[in-house]
Structure 1
Amino acid sequence: MNVSSAETWLHKVNPSLKLCALLVLCIVALFIHDLNYMMNVTIGVLFLFLCFTGHSMKRILLLSIPFCFIFISTSLAMILFGKGETLWFEWGLISITEESFMRGLLVGFRALLFAALGLTFSLTTRPVNLFYSLMQQVKLKPKYAYSFMAALRLIPIMMEELQTIRNAMRVRGFERGKGIRSVYYKMKAYSIPLLSGSIRRAHRIAVAMEAKRFTDTRDRTYYYEFGFSIKDHGFILYFIVLLLAGFYLSVHFPLLPI
């Protein structure tokens, strides 16, 4: 599957700064209780997500399907079973009020905002760049950063080993069994080789990292050097303007009359 994408200015923003800014925005969103303000901020983040992640619209919409389902399910749970004074509809356990409807939309847009921020970060940030930036700007210890990077590199190796074991089992007719006992033997046949292989690889990585002096010292050179540029200032300025403009529009030009 081809997952290539075009590189935009978001890809060139410092990964540590990007992570901190998006986390701060998530915390700010938790304290936004005005629906119009939340909708304005969510629209601004969705604009960034749709236009500047560098992926095709088809792929972006495909990735957005689970989060749209979360938006709908979260909103409906609050709308259909919430409490309020202005009753709109009631049937059995279902009770829709004006207050529950507004709160449901607020919770749904908040969940959509979190999803858009997470996807924007994951689609525009490479894990290796993130860990290099954390070591250089946040002063994360190299032994932890390189351990995480090594673990990420092991995931495709483990998937390939799992496929090899599965093919071997099929050749030997081991996959044809049925019933609970067959499931137990299959789990045992898969888990033991994978676990033993993971232990051996982890030991080799630990020895290699110790031999290359990946200790607590932070005085080391890096193949990738990360700093700050005008794109980082533009990234921060975008969210500052988004929060201020969103508040202004929510007061003077509300999307919903509340």
Structure 2
Amino acid sequence: MTDRMMEKLNPFWKAVTILCAGLLLAFGYSVLLNVLTIAICLLLMLFFSRAKMSSLVKVLLPALLAAASLFMTGLLYSNDAGGETVRDFSLAVHMVGSVYSAVQLSTRVLAFAFLGMLFALTTRSEEFIGSLMHQCKVKPKFAYGILAAFHLMPHIGKEYQNAVLAFRTRGIHTGKLSLKPVSAALVNCIRWSENVAMAMESKGFDGDSERTFYHVTVVHWYDFVFLGAWMAFLVLGLLCFPW
């Protein structure tokens, strides 16, 4: 399966682009700019990447919940004295201007969420670690240590479940807030980390010797085009749509 545009971008420079875009977006309060950012991220993920729709929906659900919560907060508790007071079935009195504040808050959260999803769903963890070593000059033992810890994270939940079952087989009841299974799982995680450290040292990941790499991530011209396009879009958006 061939990679599309988003997968061909250098992961390090893609991360730099997303971080810079998030910083610029933090200075804007325009609903239109937030909506355009969401639309561009969605188009890039749907038509220019191999991102799965199921993964997109799973990540989007918590963001939609947070956006809905902030929308209701901005709608009910905004103090905008410039709006026109209206009454909705005599249940609540609020300002019309607070609707715009609520939309600002909700779309702002979604814009940041879509920027994060644009990076997370279009970047392979191995290539990102490789780009950190080659472009960011991170030492291999730290880079591969991060990658090993990332791949061990899904096993922590399984280890917790195994600890709960082990206590049950011995007739020990553990509640949902009990720390006994957590302690047992943490002990095993510490053992895993020691085993990973010893395995890395045995393979030469000591940080003192030069290593060769089977795959080296490189920077292409379109990485800078991607960075420049996002920066130009957001700067023009901040100038043209300040509110």
TM-score by shorter chain over 0.5: yes
The 10-residue stretch of structure 1 (211-220 or 240-249) with the greater mean CA deviation from structure 2: 240-249
How far did 1:150 drift? 1.5
From 192, 204, 209, the counterpart of 2:195: 204
Which residue does the alignment assign to 2:119?
121
**1:14-47 Cα deviation digits (max 9, x unpaired):** 1101111000000000111233333323322232
Which residue does the alignment assign to 1:254?
none
CA distance in 2: counterparts of 1:208 and 1:37, whole angstroms: 49
CA distance in 2: counterparts of 1:128 and 1:197, whole angstroms: 25
How far did 1:248 drift? 8.4
From 41, 44, 47, the counterpart of 1:48: 44
How far did 1:161 drift? 3.8
Which amino acid letter does the alignment assign opposite residue 225 of structure 1?
V
Kindly tell me: are residues 174 and 6 of structure 1, through their superposed partners in 2, closer, same or farther at Cα, counting changes over 3 Å? Answer: farther
Which residue does the alignment assign to 1:86?
83
The 10-residue stretch of structure 1 (38-47 or 119-128) with the greater mean CA deviation from structure 2: 38-47
Which residue does the alignment assign to 2:27?
31
The reply to whether residue 239 of structure 1 matches residue 238 of structure 2 is no
The reply to whether residue 61 of structure 1 matches residue 57 of structure 2 is yes
Kindly tell me: are residues 223 and 101 of structure 1, through their superposed partners in 2, closer, same or farther at Cα, counting changes over 3 Å? Answer: same
Which residue does the alignment assign to 2:216?
225
CA distance in 1: counterparts of 2:177 and 2:232, whole angstroms: 59
Which residue does the alignment assign to 2:107?
109
Which amino acid letter does the alignment assign opposite residue 149 of structure 1?
L
Q: Provide the secondary structure at the position in 1 that maps to 2:79.
A: coil
How far did 1:169 drift? 5.2
How far did 1:77 drift? 1.1
The reply to whether residue 95 of structure 1 matches residue 94 of structure 2 is yes
Which amino acid letter does the alignment assign opposite residue 87 of structure 1?
E
The 10-residue stretch of structure 1 (150-159 or 119-128) with the greater mean CA deviation from structure 2: 150-159
Which residue does the alignment assign to 2:8?
12
The 10-residue stretch of structure 1 (38-47 or 122-131) with the greater mean CA deviation from structure 2: 38-47
Kindly tell me: are residues 141 and 93 of structure 1, through their superposed partners in 2, closer, same or farther at Cα, counting changes over 3 Å? Answer: farther
The reply to whether residue 22 of structure 1 matches residue 18 of structure 2 is yes
Kindly tell me: are residues 60 and 192 of structure 1, through their superposed partners in 2, closer, same or farther at Cα, counting changes over 3 Å? Answer: closer
Which amino acid letter does the alignment assign opposite residue 147 of structure 1?
G
Bigger RCO (CA 8 Å, 6+ sep)? 2
Q: Is the 8 A contact 2:25 2:234 kept in 1?
A: no
Runs (5+) with no aligned partner, structure 1: 252-257
Q: Percent identity?
A: 25
CA distance in 2: counterparts of 1:116 and 1:93, whole angstroms: 33
Kindly tell me: are residues 244 and 200 of structure 1, through their superposed partners in 2, closer, same or farther at Cα, counting changes over 3 Å? Answer: closer
TM-score, normalised by the number of residues in structure 1: 0.76
From 153, 157, 165, the counterpart of 1:155: 153
Q: Provide the secondary structure at the position in 1 that maps to 2:215.
A: coil
Q: Is the 8 A contact 1:41 1:246 kept in 2?
A: no
Which residue does the alignment assign to 2:175?
183
Q: Is the 8 A contact 1:12 1:231 kept in 2?
A: no
Q: Provide the secondary structure at the position in 2 that maps to 1:54.
A: coil
Q: Provide the secondary structure at the position in 2 that maps to 1:124.
A: coil
Which amino acid letter does the alignment assign opposite residue 121 of structure 1?
F
Which residue does the alignment assign to 1:70?
66
TM-score, normalised by the number of residues in structure 2: 0.80
Higher helix fraction: Structure 1 or Structure 2?
Answer: 1
